[in-house]
Amino acid sequence: MATTSSEKSKINPKLGGRLSDTVDARLDLTVREKLVTARIGLLLRAPFFGNLATRLKLVNADSWLTTAATDGRNFYYNTEFVNKLKPKEVEFLFGHEVLHNVYDHLARVGLDRDPRLFNCAADFCVNADLIEQRIGDKITPCLYDVKYKGWSAEEVYDDLYENAEKIDIGQLLEQMIDEHLDGEGDGDGGDEKEGEGKGRPRLSDEERRQIKDEIREALLQAAQAVGVGNVPAGVKRLIKDLTKPVVNWQELLEQQIQSTVKDDFTWMRPNRRSWHLDAVMPGMNPGTQIDVCVGIDASGSISEQDLKDFLSEVKGIMEAYDEYKVRILTWDTEVYNPVLYTSENMEDITSYEPGGGGGTDPHCVWEWLKENDIEPKKLIMFTDYCFFGFRPNEIKDYCDTVWVIKGNPDVEPEFGVWAHYEEAKRLAGV
């Protein structure tokens, strides 16, 4: 995230320090004590931010920096700048740098965005989070607009870009409280001695990757220590993305169906599908049968092509077995057109005709199963609707449920296992 040398001098002129070839040792000691005190304050009042702030090494940068900055490992500061801040404003400053690291704003600029405008967008985001979380006292001036609460940096950037004709970029830059490092420095920031500035840090691609991994690990540890409920909403979403395994829905289906017969193979009855192969594959024990039910949401935005792809995948998985039965049905507020497919008529599954098209009530599927005394080993629900004003206690234990969810990637059912349809298509390069 780069700014030009002329723009750097404009950053927050009301608070910015001056560049100096020498370090005032006495002032630096005073400022470092102020910084350490602020980190202790964060540990006591906002431990998530305090934990992440204390892992940053304090590095004097009077020779090249007029405010503050971070590269993910170090907290660079200008002594005059920090000395002008009140103790609670220093806490705000630490929180600001912490969130830039957590959100990995540097790596998200992209090649097509104006880095200066994206820097401003990133500041709007972190300042909104800090003010909402009541981290220290807001530094004035700074980039803040309540309308950007909960927005991502990309969303703020798009909004700023759309209104570019009304925006004075210079005025925005003047309200930034730190400098965003672009990595194209004139020195190696990792080798600086405490209290001595040697120039803007320069990081290799490998160092950046290492730092990103370090931040990710520190983030998860800090969130675990304080509880995910005590972090900003954007951090919660980030933690969710980092800890949620991405599973291809085709793989999920195959795994879940296979799990119903994992102990039911025998070498006494070879699989007839392997007769044309050089190797003999095990068959299923007599009487063993895969039994699944597929409930397809007919009320939402699932297209005919989605339905065709989904049924083709089910057909392909089932054909890997000798004995099976698959019930296909559609539903909205009731069940329509239930059809039982077996090895005798599986070819017809791709021509299945859905019914329905009214409201939405997933409970109708479980009610239909109970009414017809059907208890499949797996219930596979293909839907774009998982709000859940559900009554999970009444249905979650009836049979194992697998969800394939089309639509909002943030939606998660209250029970069962799941994968998102679009995510799988993206992973597959569709």
Over residues 63-77, mean pLDDT: 95
Cβ atoms of residues 190 and 177 within 8 Å: no
pLDDT at position 180 over 70: yes
Over residues 144-151, mean pLDDT: 93
Residue-wise pLDDT for 80-95, tens only, equals: 999 999 999 999 999 9
For the chain, domain boundaries: 5-243, 249-427
- What does the pLDDT read at residue 307? 80
Which position has the higher pLDDT, 216 or 263? 216
Over residues 28-35, mean pLDDT: 97
At residue 40, φ and ψ (nearest 5 deg) are -65, -40
Token pair for residue 204? 């290799």
d(CA 50, CA 355): 56
| 249-427 CATH fold | Rossmann fold (3.40.50)
Contacts of 323 (CB under 8 A, 6+ apart): 284, 288, 289, 290, 343
In which band, very low, low, confident or very high, does the pLDDT at 1 lie, cut at 50, 70 and 90? very low
pLDDT at position 396 over 70: yes
Residue 261: enclosing H or E segment and its boundaries? Answer: none
pLDDT at position 232 over 50: yes
**How many other C-beta atoms lie within 10 A of the C-beta of residue 377?**
16
d(CA 353, CA 359): 19
Looking at beta carbons, which pairs linking 84-90 to residues 24 or more positions away fall under 8 Å? 84/15, 84/17, 85/15, 85/34, 85/139, 86/137, 87/34, 87/37, 87/38, 87/41, 88/41, 88/136, 88/137, 89/136, 89/137, 89/138, 89/139, 90/34, 90/35, 90/37, 90/38, 90/136
pLDDT at position 302 over 80: no
pLDDT at position 6 over 50: no
